[in-house]
Amino acid sequence: MTADMTSNRTARPDRYDAIIVGSGIGSLVCGGYLAADGRRVLVLEQHDVAGGNAHVFRRRRRYEFDVGTHYLGDCGTDGIIPAILSGLGVGDRVRFRPMDNERGFDRVITPTTTLDVPSGWDNYRDRLKRALPGEAAGIDTFIDLSKTATALSRASVLGEPVVDLYRANPEVTRWSRRSLGKVFHHCGFSPRARTLLAAQYGNYGALPDDIGFSVHAGLMDHYMRGAYYPEGGGQVLVATLVEALEGHGGELRTRTAVARILIENDTAVGVELADGERILAPLVISNADYRRTVLDLCGGEAAFPAHLVRQTREATMRCPLTAVYVALDTELPDIPNANIWWHDSDDLERAHARMIEEEMREVPQLIFSFASVKDAGAPNVCPPGHSNFQIMTVCPPGHEFWGVDKSPADGERYRRNAAYLARKKQLTDTILATAEKVIGPFRDRITHLETATPLTNERYILASGGTPYGIGNWGGVGKRPDVRTGVEGLYVVGQSTRYGSGVGGTATGGMVCASQVLDRPLLGEVHQGAVVGDPSRLPDRGPDWDPLRVSRGRARQTAKGLARIG
């Protein structure tokens, strides 16, 4: 199969070893390691800055809001994220602030219970038993399954021999392939127990019957190893990876949209940009939305077997989110160094179904993330004495809920649409009124208020359905594509791969992709202390160092339009 190769522009000579489409965490990790190995790497990003869902935006020269970096797990001395950074030679450039891991990094609130979730599986077990004394046996079963399943998964990702371990744990292997809902049923949990255990489903955007048990357990294990926030915000992590990429000879181009991935004789040969320019390379890695990669960038059946195209076209996405960004001219009282997960029901699954059926006339759950508490005193977050936080909620899928006919990626000009604006205002007002019931009154102290809907996310990130979580069902619950595709020289990374959502999952997927390209077990090596990158090649950071500027790429650092703080 051969994709259409007609063009009025001449292809640029093959002077890159790899082209990466999109600049999320997965692609920056992968690109950094390929560059550190000596490969000539080009990363292309259609937005003004790198980072994907991990980027930030600034408002009023006083506030910086993280789009998707709300907390990170596993950032201790044995952590995978620090190991990935250290392996690139940039481990000392990102500092991680611990959240309240002893008292609780997540606070779950339901009508009958407040549960503070601590780090450590056994500490979590004890808190659950105190909250659910009648369900101790089921809790023991669930925690034991989770601990064993995640230990096996971690060993596998780190390249350790696991065949005998899996053979010795057939029950865990069997349950790891099933949905979280089926494991809940196996444990005999009540709706209240299911609600407390799945309360943080906003971390992956799917209800228990629609998510694999291994996904849930893996995300929880990530935070059971300690919850952290990157000092200076998520853009610091992005900028550090950009420095590693560029320091090792790679190139980041922002404001550069890719129109097509070029495929000849079942082999990726480069990309064509939106302006018609072609750039050739023997390796293409797509960090673009997986459905768009297969169906649009690669031309569907022109590059892939019909069954894979059909499976991708029929794939469902995980839940979309609406986020309200709030700044206040005062500090909020009694806010813990934790996220708050509030539910208006002890049966979150029934409440979610009601939300869909009633088109969200009420908000059944909210997620609060307090940047000014997690990164207290950071000058980029807010002025002293102010607050900066987000309130998020999952919302119904589909464009119809928002009063539009198609997606922004397909040309929908929605931002002045009266129906869209009315829905956005109604939902924002409802979220704010509900939030005040949880954390107390604050609306009269607001200095900045902004709402991002799934259409906003789709416009900036080009994510199908506007979800930050990627594919939900790709031919089966929990089934997702791997990084290697059936096209020679074409790989994928990002939120829709089998390695998971969030910074930890996408970074791991980026490492797996680089490992397959370079044919070496990178993650295991760096976790054992290997350093692939060369710190001497990194740029110095002066007193005016700005991660947002760095994240525009070296060629555009001084371009106009950069928002500033102060």
Q: How far apart are CA 147 and CA 158, in angstroms?
A: 16
Contact 116, 103 (CB under 8 A): yes
Per the structure block, which two tokens stand in for 167? Answer: 């053979």
pLDDT at res. 501: 83
Per the structure block, which two tokens stand in for 13? Answer: 């000579």
Q: How far apart are CA 372 and CA 220, in angstroms?
A: 24
Q: How far apart are CA 364 and CA 349, in angstroms?
A: 10
Which of 278, 259, 258 is CA-nearest to residue 269?
278
Per the structure block, which two tokens stand in for 264? Answer: 């000849």
Per the structure block, which two tokens stand in for 93? Answer: 């450039």
pLDDT at res. 167: 78
pLDDT at res. 11: 53
> Residue 388: which H helix or E strand, with range?
strand 387-394
Contact 250, 18 (CB under 8 A): no
pTM over 0.85: yes
Which of 125, 69, 30, 77 is CA-nearest to residue 527?
77
Strands 387-394 and 365-370: antiparallel
Task: Kindly list the distances between the CA atom of residue 409 and the CA atoms of 33, 158, 381, 466, 510, in Å, as whole numbers in the listed order.
Answer: 31, 37, 30, 10, 25
pLDDT at res. 14: 62
DSSP conformation letters of 300-342 = GGGTS-HHHHHHHHTPEEPPPEEEEEEEESSPPTT--SSEEEE
Which of 191, 469, 108 is CA-nearest to residue 321?
469
Coil, helix or strand at residue 73: strand
* 472 alpha carbon, distance to own chain's centre: 14
Tens place of pLDDT per residue across the chain (566 aa): 444 433 334 555 568 999 999 999 999 999 999 999 999 999 999 999 999 999 999 999 999 999 999 999 999 999 999 999 999 999 999 999 999 999 999 999 999 999 999 999 999 999 999 999 999 999 999 999 999 999 999 998 898 887 777 777 888 888 888 999 999 999 999 999 999 999 999 999 999 999 999 999 999 999 999 999 999 999 999 999 999 999 999 999 999 999 999 999 999 999 999 999 999 999 999 999 999 999 999 999 999 999 999 999 999 999 999 999 999 999 999 999 999 999 999 999 999 999 988 889 899 999 999 999 999 999 999 999 999 999 999 999 989 999 998 888 888 899 999 999 999 999 999 999 999 999 999 999 999 999 999 999 999 999 999 999 999 999 988 799 999 999 999 999 999 999 978 999 999 999 999 999 999 999 999 999 999 999 999 999 999 999 999 999 999 999 999 999 98
Structural domains of the chain ordered from first start? 11-95+231-315+475-556 (3.50.50.60), 120-224 (no CATH), 319-466 (no CATH)
SS3 letters across 68-133:
CCCCEECCCCCCHHHHHHHHCCCHHHCCEEECCCCCCCEEEECCCCEEEECCCHHHHHHHHHHHCH
Which of 145, 142, 139, 211 is CA-nearest to residue 174?
145
Coil, helix or strand at residue 72: strand
End-to-end Cα distance, the chain: 55
- Looking at residue 129, its amino acid is K
pLDDT at res. 358: 84
Q: How far apart are CA 271 and CA 189, in angstroms?
A: 51
Instruction: Count the neighbouring beta carbons within 10 Å of the beta carbon of residue 173.
Output: 16
Per the structure block, which two tokens stand in for 275? Answer: 């302006």
* 529 alpha carbon, distance to own chain's centre: 26
Query: Burial, 16: exposed, middle or buried (Cβ in 10 Å; 0-12, 13-18, 19+)?
Result: buried
Contact 432, 445 (CB under 8 A): no
Q: How far apart are CA 308 and CA 287, in angstroms?
A: 18
Which of 213, 235, 261 is CA-nearest to residue 66?
235
Q: How far apart are CA 460 and CA 404, in angstroms?
A: 17
Q: How far apart are CA 68 and CA 369, in angstroms?
A: 10
DSSP conformation letters of 275-305 = TS-EEE-S-EEE-S-HHHIIIIIS-GGGTS-
Query: Burial, 536: exposed, middle or buried (Cβ in 10 Å; 0-12, 13-18, 19+)?
Result: exposed
> Residue 343: which H helix or E strand, with range?
strand 339-343
- Looking at residue 413, its amino acid is R
Per the structure block, which two tokens stand in for 398? Answer: 């589909």
Which of 436, 381, 397, 312 is CA-nearest to residue 66?
381
Q: How many residues can be counted in the chain?
A: 566
Q: How far apart are CA 565 and CA 30, in angstroms?
A: 31
SS3 letters across 463-476:
CHHHCCCCEEECCC
pLDDT at res. 12: 54
